[in-house]
Amino acid sequence: MLFRQMRRSTRQFTTHTIAILLGVIFTFAFLKVSPSQAEPAPTYNNPPQQIVAQKQSPAAIAASNSSFVTNAVNRVGPAVVRIDTERTVTRRVPEPFMDDPFFRRFFGDSFPQQIPQRQVRGLGSGVIFDQSGLVLTNAHVVDKADRVKVRLKDGRTFDGQVKGVDEVTDLAVVNINARNLPIAPLGNSSQVQVGDWAIAVGNPLGFDNTVTLGIVSTLKRPSSQVGISDKRLDFIQTDAAINPGNSGGPLVNGRGEVIGINTAIRADAMGIGFAIPINKAKDIASQLQRNGKVAHTYLGIQMVTLTPELAKQNNSDPNSSVMLPEVNGVLVMRVIPNSPAVNSGIRRGDVIMQIDGKSIKTAEQLQKLVENTRVGQTLQLKLQRGSQTQQISIRTGELKNASMN
Q: Give residue-wise pLDDT tens across range 250-303.
A: 999 999 999 999 987 766 767 789 999 999 999 999 999 998 999 899 999 999
On whether both 239 and 198 belong to a single domain, the answer is yes
What per-residue confidence (pLDDT) applies to 9? 52
Residue 389: strand pairing partners: 384
What per-residue confidence (pLDDT) applies to 49? 40
Q: How far apart are CA 141 and CA 139, in angstroms?
A: 5
> pLDDT of 367-388, one tens digit each?
889 988 999 999 999 999 988 9
Residue where a domain terminates, one of 262, 291, 320: 291
What per-residue confidence (pLDDT) applies to 267? 67
In-domain check, residue 239:
yes
Residue where a domain terminates, one of 269, 291, 313: 291
Q: How far apart are CA 105 and CA 210, in angstroms?
A: 57
DSSP string, 154-212: TS-EEEEEEEEEETTTTEEEEEE--SS---PPB--GGG--TT-EEEEEE-GGG-SSEEE
> pLDDT of 303-325, one tens digit each?
999 999 999 999 999 888 888 99
On whether both 201 and 225 belong to a single domain, the answer is yes
What per-residue confidence (pLDDT) applies to 121? 87
In-domain check, residue 137:
yes
CATH number at residue 193: 2.40.10.10
On whether both 196 and 275 belong to a single domain, the answer is yes
Res. 34 pLDDT band, cuts 50 70 90: very low
On whether both 152 and 216 belong to a single domain, the answer is no
Write out the residue range of the structural domain in which residue 369 sits.
297-398
What per-residue confidence (pLDDT) applies to 188? 97
| Catalytic site positions | 140, 170, 247
In-domain check, residue 29:
no
Residue 124: strand pairing partners: 83
> pLDDT of 350-362, one tens digit each?
999 999 999 999 9
- Count helices and strands (H / E) in the chain: 11, 20
Average pLDDT over residues 62-80: 82
- What percent of the chain stands above pLDDT 70? 74
What per-residue confidence (pLDDT) applies to 159? 96
In-domain check, residue 70:
no
> pLDDT of 226-239, one tens digit each?
777 667 788 999 99
In-domain check, residue 68:
no
Q: Which of 264, 262, 245, 347 is nearest to 299 (CA)?
A: 347
In-domain check, residue 46:
no
Q: How far apart are CA 146 and CA 91, in angstroms?
A: 16
On whether both 287 and 302 belong to a single domain, the answer is no
> pLDDT of 185-222, one tens digit each?
999 999 999 999 999 999 988 888 899 999 999 999 88
Res. 93 pLDDT band, cuts 50 70 90: low
Give the distance, in angstroms, between the CA of residue 110 and the centroid of all CA atoms in the same chain.
50
On whether both 304 and 390 belong to a single domain, the answer is yes
Q: How far apart are CA 217 and CA 237, in angstroms?
A: 5
On whether both 212 and 132 belong to a single domain, the answer is no
Q: Distances in Å between the alpha carbon of 102 and those of 93, 99, 106?
A: 15, 9, 6
Q: Which of 195, 196, 207, 211 is nearest to 262 (CA)?
A: 211
What per-residue confidence (pLDDT) applies to 160? 96
What per-residue confidence (pLDDT) applies to 340? 95
On whether both 304 and 320 belong to a single domain, the answer is yes
On whether both 280 and 324 belong to a single domain, the answer is no
On whether both 318 and 366 belong to a single domain, the answer is yes
Q: Kindly report the average pLDDT of the chain as a whole number.
A: 81
Residue where a domain terminates, one of 291, 314, 338: 291
On whether both 383 and 308 belong to a single domain, the answer is yes
Q: Is the pLDDT of residue 1 over 50?
A: no
Overall domain count for the chain? 3
On whether both 224 and 136 belong to a single domain, the answer is no
In-domain check, residue 374:
yes
Enter the pTM of the model.
0.72
What per-residue confidence (pLDDT) applies to 400? 76
Q: Report the relative pairing of strands 297-298 and 397-398 from DSSP bridges.
A: antiparallel
Q: How far apart are CA 379 and CA 393, in angstroms?
A: 6
> pLDDT of 94-150, one tens digit each?
655 555 565 555 555 555 555 556 678 899 999 999 999 999 999 999 988 999 999
CATH number at residue 312: 2.30.42.10
In-domain check, residue 320:
yes
